[in-house]
Amino acid sequence: MIRFENVTKRYADGTTAVHDLSFEVAEGELVTLVGPSGCGKTTTMKMVNRLIEPTSGRIFVQGQDIAGTDPVELRRRIGYVIQQVGLFPHKTVLENTATVPYLLGWPKGKRRERAAELLDLVGLDPSVYGDRYPDQLSGGQRQRVGVARALAADPPVLLMDEPFGAVDPVVREHLQNEFLRLQAQMHKTVLFVTHDIEEAVRLGDRIAVFGQGTIEQLSPPAEVLGAPATPYVADFVGADRGLKRLSVTEIESGDLEQPPVVHLDDPAPKAAARLRTEDAPWAVVLDDADTLHGWVAADDLEAGSVREHARRMEAWLPVGATLKQAFAVMLQHDAGWIAVVDGDRFIGVLTPAKLHEALRRSIDADARDVAREDVVLDSVPGS
């Protein structure tokens, strides 16, 4: 749908912003371009709608070499959203949204109808906001109008350059979620520039990590985080890597601790003696079928059977759940440990210390994988 073939951009002053770039965005796919400031993301994006012309190489949009396409006609097929939304200050929200339909010569009634529909779609009630001017909106609302405007003529391709970059983190997450919901319905082909790896991971079907003017890795988010292709990528995604690894690392049986286990029908004094021997303050309680029932505190086990003192265990997870889920369950139940089951079978408990060890294991394994790759970063032009 969008294809770059050996595209290079050298500016007049000799800066090579993009070097021999080849990649493709499939129809309906959202690819995020992520990388540090000045690595060529915006240049790459602006070459797609011919705001910038490549020095060499070819770019195809919907199978057509854009070098031979009238730029004005091309831009009508490509929605464009930028950080400084660029709304016309003297035009109302409805008029701003209807900009492209206006340029396309749609009749007024149809334009307004379409603009209202789009405002609704991005969560702005047209009867409330339609007649306002841009300076009567919040930053997040202006961004929404920017998105509505880009979608107004239903272009198959969207270019988004840090569209949510100027709003606070809470509004930003909200806008990202709304955009994901929209994209699930629209299936636009989207190139989305961001310097925020978190945003790239959340939105992208695939992430293109830019080095200096080239793509270092173009892969689905889990792969970029879990198996960075080069030390550069590992470094770029690495700043708060531990947190991101939580969501892609699974609990394994080797991560678990084995506390004492007692059964529901065991006499309490016998169970208490056992806990004293093992110097354990509590035990996991299983039923006759060895299914997890709950837990019991040593101090409670004075008389009767374990059944009378056992407490239900709410904090549990199946083996194979992620460390992030484990962490969430710990917080939700304010639990110092959580039980892990394989089907109906209890197989051990995960403690905060073990969770930390599992995280280290995961990060170290990545580091070894990356070290094994024989990558020479010096081959990247300009680095």
How many residues bind ligand ATP (CB under 6 A)? The answer is: 13
Task: Choose between 35 and 134: whose C-beta lies nearer to ligand ATP.
Answer: 35
CA distance 281 to 271: 11
Helix 231-238 vs helix 352-372: crossing angle, to nearest 10:
150
Task: Choose between 218 and 301: whose C-beta lies nearer to ligand ATP.
Answer: 218
Task: Choose between 36 and 336: whose C-beta lies nearer to ligand ATP.
Answer: 36
Task: Choose between 37 and 379: whose C-beta lies nearer to ligand ATP.
Answer: 37
Contacts with ligand ATP in 231-270 (CB under 6 A)?
none
Task: Choose between 40 and 294: whose C-beta lies nearer to ligand ATP.
Answer: 40
CB of 372 to ligand ATP, least distance (A): 30
Contacts with ligand ATP in 183-202 (CB under 6 A)?
195
CB of 85 to ligand ATP, least distance (A): 16
- Cα separation values, 258 from 4, 255, 337, 346, Å: 55, 10, 11, 10
CB of 227 to ligand ATP, least distance (A): 24
Task: State the burial class of residue 304 (Cβ atoms within 10 Å of its Cβ: 0-12, 13-18, 19+).
Answer: exposed
CA distance 328 to 322: 10
Q: Which of 19, 30, 31, 42 binds ligand ATP (CB under 6 A)?
A: 42
CA distance 366 to 383: 24
Shortest CA distance to 161 belongs to which of 42, 256, 333? 42
43 lines the binding site for ligand ATP (CB under 6 A): yes
15 lines the binding site for ligand ATP (CB under 6 A): yes
- Cα separation values, 81 from 17, 49, 152, 214, 357, Å: 21, 12, 12, 23, 43
One-character DSSP codes across 8-35: EEE-TTS-EEEEEEEEEE-TT-EEEEE-
- Cα separation values, 340 from 291, 332, 351, Å: 11, 16, 11
Q: Which of 1, 21, 31, 40 binds ligand ATP (CB under 6 A)?
A: 40
Q: Is-contact 69 53, C-beta < 8 A? A: no
Shortest CA distance to 77 belongs to which of 94, 102, 100? 100
- Cα separation values, 173 from 148, 180, 328, 382, Å: 18, 11, 19, 34
Task: Choose between 237 and 350: whose C-beta lies nearer to ligand ATP.
Answer: 237
Which window, 7-15, 133-141, 169-177, 311-319, contacts ligand ATP (CB under 6 A)? 7-15
Residue bearing tokens 């007049």: 12
DSSP state of 300: G
Task: State the burial class of residue 247 (Cβ atoms within 10 Å of its Cβ: 0-12, 13-18, 19+).
Answer: middle
Which window, 34-42, 80-88, 250-258, 300-308, contacts ligand ATP (CB under 6 A)? 34-42
Task: Choose between 17 and 285: whose C-beta lies nearer to ligand ATP.
Answer: 17
Residue bearing tokens 């939105």: 203
Which window, 38-46, 65-73, 198-206, 216-224, contacts ligand ATP (CB under 6 A)? 38-46
CB of 42 to ligand ATP, least distance (A): 3
17 lines the binding site for ligand ATP (CB under 6 A): yes
Which window, 32-40, 144-152, 317-325, 348-356, contacts ligand ATP (CB under 6 A)? 32-40
Per-position x/- string for 314-333, each x denoting binding to ligand ATP as judged by CB under 6 A, each - no binding? --------------------
Q: Which of 8, 23, 28, 38 binds ligand ATP (CB under 6 A)?
A: 38
Please report, as ranges, the residues that interact with ligand ATP according to CB under 6 A.
11, 13, 15, 17, 35, 37-43, 195
